[in-house]
A and B are shown apart, each in its own frame.
Chain A
Amino acid sequence: DAKTTQPPSMDCAEGRAANLPCNHSTISGNEYVYWYRQIHSQGPQYIIHGLKNNETNEMASLIITEDRKSSTLILPHATLRDTAVYYCIGGNSGGYQKVTFGTGTKLQVIP
């Protein structure tokens, strides 16, 4: 599995875009980048994933650098409900899906 590095915490003003970076310099060619978040006292929730191309869904956008060594999760208009710990994960080694979490980034959305 790829080792990922994220800042431990970030603040974002409500209504502004939240840009959460992740470094995954050891990611291999067939490993996807996944983002999950965990709101207090709940199980982690899937947000988005990608391999090479940028991806967008109803929750967020994922920008992956061309060399695939880093990515950025973008929440376009952060709300107070987006306050959570966000995990960047490199997965799918060995021919099967593997989801291994690091320490994540605690995002605090400020009113």
Chain B
Amino acid sequence: QKEVEQNSGPLSVPEGAIASLNCTYSDRGSQSFFWYRQYSGKSPELIMFIYSNGDKEDGRFTAQLNKASQYVSLLIRDSQPSDSATYLCAVNEMDSGNTPLVFGKGTRLSVIA
């Protein structure tokens, strides 16, 4: 059973701080990794994806991947109250024809003004 684990939170950070969200996965063969943001009552929206070891930056967001440790993280710099949401980590196994992503249960982030 492939598993993706996230701390459910809530993770509370002050406005302007760095929020660090973590995710571990069980399938060592996983190839690509995704971070989704979901506001309450809304559908998930893709923030970033990463498939190479190391860091990938997009604006205030940085995804970090360590395949040896089976660990992926999302850093949010200069956190804003509008970043308050649930963040879902999702993992794709080796490319085998559009097999479904496996999602974690999400971490709830609260940015305090």
- Are A and B genuine complex partners? no
